[in-house]
Chains A and B, each alone.
Chain A
Amino acid sequence: MYKEILQNIDHVAIWPMISFFIFFSFFLCLLWWTFTVDRKYIRHMKEMPLENDKDNQLDLNA
């Protein structure tokens, strides 16, 4: 029943295919980017949450 209705839309199968393709390519780019990105950048990002504490003498957990 579903197939019939979907078949009535022209080339319905192409839409999921296209969206899958877009996302897959996006993903590949993302992978490529994460592995080629500058190390300095990664280090900077990693330390970001900790930065504020430098001027914060009250480290409860230290």
Chain B
Amino acid sequence: MELDKFSYDNKIVRAFIIVTVIFGLVGMLVGLTIAIQLFYPALNFDFQYTTFGRIRPLHTNAIIFAFVGNAMFAGVYYSMQRLLKTRMFSDTLSWIHFWGWQLIILAAAITLPLGITTSKEYAELEWPIDIAITLIWVVFGWNMIGTILKRRERHMYVAIWFYIATFVTVAVLHVVNSFEMPVNWLKSYSFYAGVQDALVQWWYGHNAVAFFLTTPFLGLMYYFLPKAANRPVYSYRLSIIHFWSLIFIYIWAGPHHLLYTALPDWAQSLGTVFSIMLIAPSWGGMINGLMTLRGAWDRVRENVVLKFMVVAVTAYGMATLEGPLLSLKNINAITHFTDWIVAHVHVGGLGWNGFLIFGILYWVVPKMWGTKIYSNQLANIHFWLGTLGIIFWALPMYVSGVVQSLMWKEFNPDGFLVYKNFLETTVQIIPLYMIRAVGGGLYLTGAILMTYNLIKTAYSGKFIADEPAEAAPLAAVPAATSGGWHHRVLESKPVLFTVLAFISILVGGIVEIIPTFLIKSNIPTIASVTPYSPLELHGRDIYIREGCVSCHSQMVRPFRSETERYGEYSKAGEYVYDHPFLWGSKRTGPDLHRISGKYSDSWHYNHMLAPDAVSTGSIMPAYPWLFEQSLDLEQTAPKIRALRKVGVPYAEGYEDTANEALMKQATTISENLNMEGIEVAPQTEIVALIAYLQRLGKDIKSEKVAER
């Protein structure tokens, strides 16, 4: 039989590998910086572009989309060509994908420190970048499906299924969650409000973890683990069952991020039930990975690639057991908003994604350069530094989460909160923050060693840009290995397969989200809840810009410990004008949903200028620039128009008089401050922020007064 001669494109893989390593180092360095800022706030140099709230999203985006994303692409481009016995569909598309993605990362690296953000977690990038992501993602999918169609191997290995599911689902998630109304080129408001926005966001956030950090990496595991171990996967049957149950169940579990919030009960229960079910397919994957190494454990001891992979798969198993447990309401009541969740995420990020990436890199770089690893010993040191790093990272954060949570909830025999002052609970966990930073430092050091090792490896070999290969064309392959008609229909038709995967994730999404669309206008309206005043609106946008949401929640849960500390619990109807919602997911500082009236304007003024001077020992950063910068009143009208378009009932023509109302309110506040000896111009940003803070929870409080 005549064999086709062709070559595998290694150049594109090399390009993605290089950026993976670079952005990995950058992302980890930013992470280490914010970890240190949490016990040494001065590390931001009182400089707005390095303040915690702005560079925390820089860290998460760099790690998720730049480090893990580029690694995913490197792995997909490497394995896909070989599994399908063909070069990628189009080199041009490969390179558009590569450069487009790097440009998006560059745009993120510029906009996030500038405070240009939607504030929705892992979807912070503003609308023009969102559009670019969509386009580049389509290029990736086009290239992938094209490659599948021109393959020389009749059957699609399970890794390819995972890649297809990743492409399809991330596309749907990204588009649905990015519906937003532009105010100008760099600012938009979420199309959704309050409860609805929260549900869509966490449907997205949860599934971004599932389909960006999990499914593609399971695909990579199914390719690279057998490769590195030189033995086939333990059970191919298990991999099929595990694949379909995973993508079907995952999509429903999103609401577990919103337990005890103002989200309707049925949605919360749905989230819990599906999260528990998720243990089965997740562990199916882990077992399949680990069992692949059965009888080869002696090799694991010697082979650093396998060591990394074993820890990665184990970390995956731990994180996917922990996740469902955290979805149980009684456990969630303790762990939510605490450092426990941060630890959970990092077992997944540092352990599963990080270690799998390191393992793959140590395997693939020598292969592509036709050589051996430069130093096995250095790689082993990296392994131990990384493992210690994970332990020193995660353990203190588990302790911190439990300690702080119990302190938040502790009552004395007279029925009062023991730690009425939130700050007392923060001070307790500062030493743990320091240990965590050490863990992060160890992990980063390991990654630096790897970089050196890989560069040396590359220099010791010769890069094989186009790896020659040969295979029979598809038409000539006899169908003898086929599994019968039913299977041929499913898996030899990639388009049909893609559609099926699409439908299975879509149904879950629709059943979960449609009901909230229907209730949009029916959330129990609270008569006293009115749209924000123009000044408050500017203040809210400053709150968004500065990323206050990364440390402060606006969601008082219905527990006595919270209503005692903060006041009345939060109702769905209070958020109907919140585009976007700002519930938050982590309480490094206290909840702010009921902050109005708790302090005077001058307290806020002094606190924002120097938190530590007002609350001794506070780790909240100072915001001196808010006292120098002025509001851009030109933006008031576009803001109001944009919000009206998404349903906020500002009267027609209100934008024409909005600035008058704004100045009036600002002048009142500035006069107020003046009486306490503070000189501040009404247009200063801090005035708007104070107006916003003094508004939070005010509507509900005035309702209470009216009832009496």
Q: Which residues of A contact B (CB under 8 A)?
A: 1-2, 5-6, 9, 15-16, 19, 22-23, 26-27, 29-31, 33-35, 37-38, 40-42, 44-50, 52-53, 56, 58-62
Contact = CB atoms under 8 A, between A and B. Distances in A.
A1 B79 CA distance: 51
B233 A61 contact: no
Given A42-B237, A49-B227, 11 more contacts: A1-B264, A5-B515, A23-B504, A30-B244, A37-B483, A38-B484, A48-B155, A58-B367, A58-B370, A60-B363, A61-B363
Interface in B601-631: none
A52 to B, nearest CB: 5
A54 B248 CA distance: 36
A50 B236 CA distance: 14
A49 B292 CA distance: 13
B266 A2 contact: yes
A33 B486 contact: yes
Interface of B is mostly: helix
Given A35-B237, A41-B487, A60-B366, A46 B232 contact: yes
Nearest to A40: B481
Contacts of A6: 515, 518
Nearest to B249: A23
B82 A61 contact: no
A46 B244 CA distance: 18
14 contacts: A2-B515, A27-B245, A30-B244, A33-B483, A38-B482, A40-B480, A41-B482, A41-B487, A44-B155, A45-B157, A50-B231, A52-B469, A60-B373, A61-B228
Interface in B282-308: 299, 303, 305-306
Nearest to B270: A16
Given A1-B524, A23-B504, A30 B230 contact: no
A22 to B, nearest CB: 8
Given A2-B519, A60-B373, A45 B158 contact: yes
Contacts of A38: 481-484
B237 A49 contact: no
A29 B240 CA distance: 12
Contacts of A23: 248, 504, 507
7 pairs of A and B residues whose beta carbons are closest in the complex: A46-B232, A41-B483, A37-B483, A44-B481, A34-B237, A48-B157, A49-B226
A56 B227 CA distance: 12
B519 A31 contact: no
Contact of B227 (A5, A16, A19, A53): A53
B466 to A, nearest CB: 15
Contacts of B233: 46, 49
B368 to A, nearest CB: 10
Contacts of A59: 230
B103 interface: no
Contacts of A37: 237, 483-484, 487
A61 B305 contact: yes
- Report which residue of A5, A16, A23, A45 has the largest number of chain B beta carbons within 10 angstroms of its beta carbon: A45
Contacts of A33: 483, 486-487
B363 A31 contact: no
B232 A47 contact: yes
B241 interface: yes
Given A34-B240, A40-B481, A62-B230, A5 B511 contact: no
A53 B469 CA distance: 11
Contacts of B150: none
A47 B292 CA distance: 12
Contacts of B82: 49, 52
Contacts of A46: 232-233, 236
A60 B228 CA distance: 9
Contacts of A49: 79, 82-83, 157, 159, 222-223, 226-227, 232-233
Contacts of A27: 244-245, 248
B153 interface: yes
Interface in B207-231: 222-223, 226-231
A33 B515 CA distance: 35
A6 B306 CA distance: 52
B240 A5 contact: no
B232 A31 contact: no
Contacts of A56: 367
A46 B230 CA distance: 12
B240 to A, nearest CB: 5
B469 A50 contact: no
A60 B372 contact: yes
A50 to B, nearest CB: 6
